[in-house]
Amino acid sequence: QQKVQQSPESLIVPEGGMASLNCTFSDRNSQYFWWYRQHSGEGPKALMSIFSNGDKKEGRFTAHLNKASLHVSLHIKDSQPSDSALYFCAVTLSNYNVLYFGSGTKLTVEP
Amino acid sequence: GGIITQTPKFLIGQEGQKLTLKCQQNFNHDTMYWYRQDSGKGLRLIYYSITENDLQKGDLSEGYDASREKKSSFSLTVTSAQKNEMAVFLCASRRTGGNYAEQFFGPGTRLTVL
């Protein structure tokens, strides 16, 4: 059974600072990795995905994947108050239809 | 673009009651999902459907039924509401056939059981 764990549970960073979110997964057959963001009162929305080891950058967001250490991370540069939200890591196995979600990291960016 | 609509937005029921939540999407996506989200926690999969009249159980299917009446709609029934089922139920859809296709989510139905 795939287990996806995120840390920290909550994170406070100053406006303009760097936020780093971590995720570990248990199944070495994990294929594809997503980061979703959920603002209060809304459904989650996909931020970015990664499937190869290394870094992937999209604007202020960089995802890093290391399959050997079963770890994926998200780094947010120049954090803005609008980045305050719940962030989820989600992982697929060979069935791409099914996503396994972590329990989330609550990010607060203080002006 | 498209949109996922969930009704009702808020649902209040009595313990033991049968309750139905509805979801509609106009993305023309093949695959649809129901998740449960407990306060401040992650999403757990209840059911998904890869085409009309198909149903696949998720890890949390016990206590729920689902129905995919047509491609654009997916319903979830709580068969007997329990006090510990106060949660947000999220519907999602995804284009099938693309390994990298993301899931799009609706705004959720918030369930309160009295």
Provide the residue-wise pLDDT of chain B in tens; the chain has 114 residues.
Answer: 899 999 999 999 999 999 999 999 999 999 999 999 998 678 999 999 999 999 999 999 999 999 998 999 999 999 999 987 789 999 999 987 666 679 999 999 999 998
Residue-by-residue DSSP string for A34-101: EEEEE-TTS--EEEEEE-SSEEEEETTEEEEEETTTTEEEEEESS--GGG-EEEEEEEE-S-TT--EE
Tell me how far apart the alpha carbons of residues A72 and A55 are, in angstroms, rounded to a whole number: 10
What is the per-residue pLDDT across A5-33, written as a single tens digit (0 to 9) for each? 999 999 999 999 999 999 999 999 998 99
Residues of B with Cβ-Cβ distance to A41 under 8 angstroms: 107
The confidence score (pLDDT) of residue B112 equals 93
Q: How many interface pairs between A and B have CB atoms less than 8 angstroms apart?
A: 53
Nearest to A34 by CA among A69, A74, A2: A74
CA B93 from centroid of its chain's CA atoms: 10
Are B99 and A41 in contact (CB < 8 Å)?
no
Interface probe with A: pick from B32, B54, B102, B110, most Cβ of A within 10 Å: B102
The answer to whether residue A45 scores a pLDDT higher than 80 is yes
What's the pLDDT score for residue B97? 67
Bridge partner residues of B23 (DSSP):
B6, B74
Q: How far is A42 from chain B (nearest CA, A)?
A: 5
B84/chain A closest Cα distance in angstroms: 18
Beta bridge partners of A51: none
Structure confidence at residue B96 (pLDDT): 75
CA B80 – CA A100 distance, rounded (Å) = 26
Distance between CA atoms of A84 and B17, rounded to whole angstroms? 37
Sign of dihedral through CA atoms B24, B26, B31, B36? negative
**Residue B86 pLDDT:** 86
Cα B105 versus chain centre, distance: 10
How much is the pLDDT for B67? 97
Q: How many CB atoms lie within 10 A of CB A79?
A: 22
Max intra-chain CA distance, chain B:
42
